[in-house]
Structure 1
Amino acid sequence: QDLFTELKRYYTGGNVNLEEMLNDFWARLLERMFQLINPQYHFSEDYLECVSKYTDQLKPFGDVPRKLKIQVTRAFIAARTFVQGLTVGREVANRVSKVSPTPGCIRALMKMLYCPYCRGLPTVRPCKNYCLNV
């Protein structure tokens, strides 16, 4: 549950260290697995913490944590960047939709965009200065 909460917090823009969060997940998983595999024993919190400290040396999950860490980090960085881009795009679209151009501006924009079509030259693009002035 903590894993998904932290992933969601990162995705929505929170200040979360993905590598540290995934390391904590694997450490907690190892502690739980250790208890389930050895139900005949009762382990203190200190003992379980000691076991999780040596996860890198013991490698109980093989190379899976390292590979998964790389994949999850890449995926979430890309997803978060994409969502942030969509948010900025939405804000830009909202602001642009509220702009009220003057009649002269509308006429110039229409001329710039559609005159080439009327003259049978749809591939001709307006010159840069004309675009900047409009």
Structure 2
Amino acid sequence: MVGTPKYMSPEHALGKQLTPASDVFTLGLLAAEAASGSHPYGEGGGLVVATRIAGTDREPPDLGAHPPALREVLTACLAPRPEDRPSAAEVAALCGRAAGRDVRDFRGWLPKPLATAVAGVDRAAQDPRSAGWLSRIRRTT
């Protein structure tokens, strides 16, 4: 088993098959902790927290410290069953709804050089055939 126990999905902690839904769960864990400063499954060593995560179908994470709009995103990402979690595109849509703006709208909240770089990565991701996009981004930052 490879990974940080405190950031594993239930299926990962239980040694089951991993899918992209496992990454969505981990994203939810990281976002929840970054937003509140505490892990949604509480304190303790890695294996203790991983055990709580593995039992999330019986005892869900504590998301009480998060605002309702964020809680909706986190609850979806931290669904116990992988098939109940949103896809990456659905997570982006949930985030956009929670933020009240398109997640690709970088105006007004990022420093201009960073917004330009992020927009460049976004454009390149839309057309991966574009050559040299990474070196162009590095020159703008």
Structure of higher CA gyration radius: 1
More helix as a share of residues? 1
Normalising by structure 2, we get a TM-score of: 0.29
Normalising by structure 1, we get a TM-score of: 0.30
